[in-house]
């Protein structure tokens, strides 16, 4: 089955052609991060307009790169949510219109499930697919969640952030340190340049839960920047990253052990962070799966990978469904 998938939930306009939910034939991502950089974060109206400009060229390029025509497609899918409503509606509307016009099944996909399913996209011809049940840590600009992934796959929410998402914390700290947007890669680069590594920021463990909190850490970083006039930006970035990565990795590994998981999956933009990748692999006693960095940040190949789950459970036509800023399949996510 060959799927054309479209993703436009945030600041990337993306389209991909994927076969059987695993083989990437093309994967086009038009990033808007430069447009938003001067604001230090995403401006929804700017995002929506940029999606409108990019959507048709991006979809065309996905077909060209895959060497396929409309007649070679079996279904069209799109991110339904969660995301920015004005951004979602562009990719979702385009996908729905194409499906209607071409007489193909239209499949709305949950963005978070898409991030997790990036772990099923085959890289370099390896067949090292995750075994289930798995615990997945989804860490992005908008979300920080621990999910139990059972056979199906079926997703159950174990916990998540009570305030900022991990990526959001990286972006806000970048702003405090005078670094540019998106902040994750910038903070990570500054951290790797740290020479002095003495600073220690607090960790919010929220013991007894699978929840997270990063707002206290953000305040601690703010205070350290205010108080230490000549403070070393690199050391602050390093100490901040250590705090986030310590909590994320310990809680994910603990949840995986407690749930008897056979594998631990990382997903979402923050999973591109090399320190997080390293520490989770070090601490986990079960196999860890992490997509390559380009499939951790928003892309449409992951949406294509999640398409077959939705097709397997939905017998009705989904053409009348609308996008939503919330999780798109609340009934299956506890």
Residue with Cβ nearer ligand KG4 (98 or 191): 191
Task: Give min distance, CB of 139 to ligand KG4, in A.
Answer: 8
Q: Which of residues 288-327 bind ligand KG4 (CB under 6 A)?
A: 297-298
Contact 42, 85 (CB under 8 A): no
Residue of 21, 81, 130, 269 that binds ligand KG4 (CB under 6 A): 269
183 binds ligand KG4 (CB under 6 A): yes
Structure tokens at 196: 């002095």
270 binds ligand KG4 (CB under 6 A): yes
Part in contact with ligand KG4 (CB under 6 A); list of ranges 150-158, 190-198, 206-214, 265-273: 265-273
**Binds 185, which of ligand KG4, Zn ion, none (CB < 5 to 8 A, cut-off by type)?**
ligand KG4
Tell which residue, 323, 303, 322, 269, has the closest CA to residue 14.
303
Structure tokens at 312: 């397997």
Q: How far is CA 211 from the centre of its chain?
A: 18
Q: What is the DSSP letter of 74?
A: S
Number of helices and strands in the chain (H, E): 11, 10
Task: Give min distance, CB of 243 to ligand KG4, in A.
Answer: 13
Cα end-to-end distance, the chain, whole Å:
30
Task: Give min distance, CB of 191 to ligand KG4, in A.
Answer: 9
Part in contact with Zn ion (CB under 5 A); list of ranges 217-225, 255-263, 290-298, 307-315: 290-298
Cis peptide before 170 (omega within 30 of 0): no
Residue of 81, 93, 105, 142 that binds ligand KG4 (CB under 6 A): 142
> Alpha-carbon distance 143 to 307, whole Å?
20
Binding string, 101-140, against ligand KG4, x = CB under 6 A?
Answer: ---------------------------------------x
210 binds ligand KG4 (CB under 6 A): no
Cis peptide before 133 (omega within 30 of 0): yes
> Alpha-carbon distance 16 to 18, whole Å?
6
Task: Give 69: exposed, middle or buried? Use CB within 10 Å, 0-12, 13-18, 19+.
Answer: exposed
Task: Give min distance, CB of 76 to ligand KG4, in A.
Answer: 21
Task: Give min distance, CB of 70 to ligand KG4, in A.
Answer: 28
Residue with Cβ nearer ligand KG4 (162 or 275): 275
81 binds ligand KG4 (CB under 6 A): no
Residue of 234, 273, 284, 328 that binds ligand KG4 (CB under 6 A): 273
Radius of gyration of the chain (CA): 20
> Alpha-carbon distance 329 to 310, whole Å?
10
Tell which residue, 75, 60, 63, has the closest CA to residue 20.
75
Beta strand 263-267 with 134-139 is: parallel
298 binds Zn ion (CB under 5 A): yes
Point out which residues bind ligand KG4 (CB under 6 A): 10, 140-142, 167, 170-171, 182-185, 188, 268-270, 272-273, 297-298
Contacting residues toward Zn ion, per CB under 5 A: 140, 298
């Amino acid at each position: 089955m060959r799927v054309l998938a479209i993703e436009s939930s945030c600041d990337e306009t993306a389209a991909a052609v994927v076969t059987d939910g695993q083989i990437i034939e093309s994967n086009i991502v038009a990033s808007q991060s430069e447009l938003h950089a001067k604001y230090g974060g995403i401006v929804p109206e700017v995002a929506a307009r940029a999606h409108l400009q990019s959507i048709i060229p991006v979809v065309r390029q996905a077909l060209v790169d895959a060497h396929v025509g409309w007649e070679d497609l079996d279904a069209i899918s799109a991110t339904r949510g969660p995301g920015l409503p004005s951004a979602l509606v562009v990719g979702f509307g385009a996908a729905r219109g194409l499906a209607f016009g071409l007489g193909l099944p239209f499949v709305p996909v949950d963005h978070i499930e898409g991030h997790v399913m990036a772990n099923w996209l085959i890289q370099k011809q390896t067949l090292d697919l995750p075994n289930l049940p798995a615990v997945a840590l989804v860490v992005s600009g908008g979300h920080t969640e621990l999910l139990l992934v059972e056979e199906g796959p079926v997703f159950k929410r174990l916990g998540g952030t009570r305030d900022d998402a991990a990526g959001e914390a990286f972006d806000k700290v970048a702003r405090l340190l005078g670094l540019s947007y998106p902040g994750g890669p910038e903070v990570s680069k500054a951290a790797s340049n740290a020479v002095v590594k003495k600073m220690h920021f607090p960790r919010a463990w929220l013991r007894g839960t699978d929840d997270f909190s990063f707002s206290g850490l953000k305040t601690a970083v703010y205070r350290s920047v205010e108080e230490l006039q000549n403070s070393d930006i690199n050391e602050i970035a390093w100490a901040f990253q250590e705090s986030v990565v310590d909590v994320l990795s310990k809680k994910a590994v603990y949840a995986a052990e407690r749930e008897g998981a056979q594998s631990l999956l990382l997903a979402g933009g923050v999973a591109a962070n090399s320190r997080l990748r390293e520490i989770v692999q070090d601490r986990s006693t079960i196999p860890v799966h992490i997509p390559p960095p380009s499939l951790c940040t928003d892309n449409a190949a992951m949406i294509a990978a999640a398409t077959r789950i939705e097709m397997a459970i939905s017998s009705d036509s989904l053409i009348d469904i609308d996008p939503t800023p919330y999780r798109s399949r609340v009934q299956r996510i506890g």
